[in-house]
Structure 1
Amino acid sequence: MRHASNERLVATIPADVEMPDKILAKLTIRQVAILAGTGLLATWVYLMAGDRLPIPVLAAIVVPVIACGCALALGKRDGLGLDRLALHALAWLRRDRKLVTAEEGVPEPPAWCRVRGRLPGRLRLPVRAIREDGVMELAEGGTAAVVRAGTVAFGLRTGEEQAALVGVFAGWLNSLDAPVQILLQARPVDLSDLADRISGTAERLSDPALEQAAHQHADFLTELSATRDLLTRDVLVVVRHQDSEQPPTWKRGPRRAAHRNSSAAIVARRAEETVRSLFALGIHASVMGADDARELLVRSLSPRRAEPVGIARPDEPISRGQDA
């Protein structure tokens, strides 16, 4: 990678250790197993029906089987193999369409009651509880904390500044010893509340020119919200902690409470370290509290609902991207 100043920027990227191994003709074990199973199935069909069916009919049976096996083994969709995509599709079809909050599950109806369709399933949320400091206790065990971060204008920096930013970011990545997820979350924006707030404030302005400018800006926001699909973007860094001695699910008891408290303290410390590392990059970041974490989970359950936009803080940069 080179900058306009012809200075080369070097960043070490670790190898993909999760890439499956190739064992035969650049094929993985999964692909070889699917192709071998397809060959065995086609051979069995030929041996069983080769003497009883004419060649065109036999080919009409065997060729689709071979084609489906090759497609499952070699085909991909959005970087995911078609065999795994088919398994995910079957799992999705078997899932309950309607979910309700029931801790003990949905009880079966009595024998005299005839139910049409399927009963609703139990809603299993990934978060069991949110502590006062914003640390989330996960239902599967472990804890997590969310850091809300800003952005940095990387393209406007000089070559030396870009190299320094890349070095600091690479140092933070190399220092990680636990799973970390960087999430870019986009959601619709509703500017009607902001336009109404500006219109209400404009009447109290002493200067008529300022009042007219405020009304014009409110009209502009209303027109912009009606003619464009506006999105706002959040940059979230999720840090997790999973102790090997932690139970897979939370239970009551003094020992369980000690595990929860220690895990929450560790993940809170890692979140603070993440904030300090981002400050070194010139990025404003903060650990989300309990209220912000709850609002984040609510928004995640209804991602298409438009949210009212607020006013930027004095220390928050305002940039224009491609979201509008």
Structure 2
Amino acid sequence: MVARIPADVEMPDKIFANLNARQVAILAVTGVLAAWVYLITDGRLPVPVLAAIVLPVIACGCALALGKRDGLGLDRVAVHAFAYLRRNRKLVTAEEGVPEPPAWCRVRGRLPGALRLPVRAIREDGVLELAEGGTAAVVQAGTVAFGLRTQDEQAALVGVFAGWLNSLDTPVQILMQARPVDLSSLADLIEGTAGRLADPALEQAARQHAQFLTELGDTRDLLTRDVLIVVRHDGSEQASSWKRGPRRTARRDSSSAIVTRRAEEAVRSLLTLGVHASVLGADDVRDLLVRSLSPRRAEPVGIARPDEPITRGEGTR
């Protein structure tokens, strides 16, 4: 027996003329609105004027119901755009929310909103404590030259990967992240060590290679790709359970142990595919979050850990 499963298992059901319920509702509302405009005019407007009023309404309704943008319906795109325009652009870190100003204070414009980050804290073992409850661990994986394998090897790789996917009992996110690469440090390293080479020909070749790396970084936007696997453990606790207390601390430790074990199982499963993988530690996770939140900005230097004192070096102001 063969059962065909569509590629998009979340595709809404078609209820009429190959249209889903959302599209039928939008077209019905558009038709009712066009009929209402026609009835209230009651022949008092010329046909060209009536057509100029009704046709744009029908066109907008059909576009919202049938149009798509990057696989997403235009009605949902419009809803997301409206929510984005209403969202506060100035955000500040305030866990309790931004208080209202006193009555005697006149505020021009809108008050800044509260910044709600999805990650509450990073544990010493690299596990993320999520603001909505639960924990997550990040696994960094390599890649495999799938196209260079034989047909039997490709089938074996697909089978092992499918077996790992079928063994999952919780949601897992596979993320492909591209980030810019700075070759200036590598070029400076080669330039600094070129003078200590014994052979003048090697020194000249090293300096030429350093110059090539510098020109390549100045004339091209270089990117590197990271393959990340995010393993989560939701549990039964909510965001309010992250408050202090011995019982809640035990829950966090238990959730951290569970998500760490699942991340290690993912690493072992990927090793059977010939893919090198490792669970990211606290420092690597911090760097990953910094790059994700500000991909085009320079990374902060010298971030102190919670238990480390903050000192001022010489020459700083």
Cα distance in 1 between the residues matched to 2:42 and 2:144: 68
1:247 to 208, 220, 238: 238
Q: Which of 203, 210, 221 is the equivalent residue of 1:211?
A: 203
CA contact (8 A) 1:134 1:293 kept: yes
Tell me the TM-score normalized by structure 1.
0.86
Are residues 1:72 and 2:83 paired?
A: no
**After superposition, what is the alpha-carbon deviation per residue over 1:255-280, rounded to whole angstroms, capped at 9, x for unaligned?**
33333222222111110011001100
Deviation at 1:107, TM superposition (A): 2.2
Report the alpha carbon displacement of residue 115 of structure 1 after superposing the two structures with TM: 2.5
Q: Give the letter for the 1:41 counterpart.
A: L
Are the counterparts in 1 of residues 174 and 229 from structure 2 also a CA contact under 8 Å?
A: yes
| Corresponding residue SS for 1:19 | coil
Superposition pairs for residues 250-289 of structure 1, below 5 Å? 250-252=241-243, 253-289=245-281
Alignment check: 8 A CA contact 1:189 1:306 kept: no
Contact 1:50 1:58 in 2 (8 A): no
SS of the residue corresponding to residue 190 of structure 1 reads coil
Maintained 8 Å contact 1:190/1:306: no
**Range 57-66 or range 298-307, more displaced:** 298-307
CA distance, structure 2, for counterparts of residue 17 and residue 118 of structure 1: 42
Distance 1:115 1:283 in 2: 56
1:31 is the counterpart of 2:13: no
Q: Secondary structure at the match of 2:132?
A: coil
Moved more, 68-77 or 208-217: 208-217
State the alpha-carbon separation in 2 of the partners of residues 228 and 218 from structure 1.
Answer: 15
List alignment gaps of at least 5 residues for structure 2: 300-317
Q: Which residue, 165, 189, 202 being the options, matches 2:194?
A: 202
2:149 equivalent to 1:157:
yes
Q: For 1:166-188, what per-residue CA distance to the aligned partner results, in whole angstroms no more than 9, with x for missing partners?
A: 11111111111111111111111
Where in structure 1 are there 5+ consecutive unaligned residues? 1-11, 308-324
Task: Report the aligned-residue RMSD.
Answer: 1.8
Residues 1:47 and 1:255: Cα distance change in structure 2 (over 3 Å): farther
Q: Give me the TM-score of the superposition, normalised by structure 2.
A: 0.88
Contact kept, 8 Å, 2:133 with 2:242, in 1: the verdict is no
Q: Does 1:299 align with 2:274?
A: no
C-alpha distance in 2 between matches for 1:209 and 1:45: 84
Residue number among 39, 42, 51 corresponding to 1:59 in the alignment = 51
Kept after mapping to 2: 8 A contact 1:188/1:305: no
Distance 1:110 1:31 in 2: 47
* Amino acid in structure 1 at the alignment position of 2:15: I
CA drift at 1:147 = 0.3
Deviation by residue 1:97-122 (Cα, 9 ceiling, x = unmatched)? 11111222222223333322222211
> How many equivalent pairs are there?
295
- What's the secondary structure of 1:155's corresponding residue? coil
Q: Does 1:230 align with 2:222?
A: yes
**TM-superposition CA deviations, 1:228-257 (whole Å, max 9, x none):** 1111111101111212x2224443233333
What is aligned with 2:306? Answer: none
Please name the residue that 1:44 is paired with.
Answer: 36
Q: 2:75 aligns with which of 59, 73, 83?
A: 83
**Alpha-carbon separation, structure 2, partners of 1:217 and 1:70:** 58
1:97-136 pair list within 5 angstroms: 97-136=89-128
Distance 1:134 1:198, change over 3 A: same
Which residue number in structure 2 is paired with residue 317 of structure 1?
none
One-letter code aligned to 1:53: L
**CA displacement, residues 279-319 of structure 1 (integer Å, 9 cap, x when unaligned):** 00111100001111111001001112367xxxxxxxxxxxx
Q: Runs of at least 4 residues of structure 1 off by over 3 A?
A: 12-16, 248-251
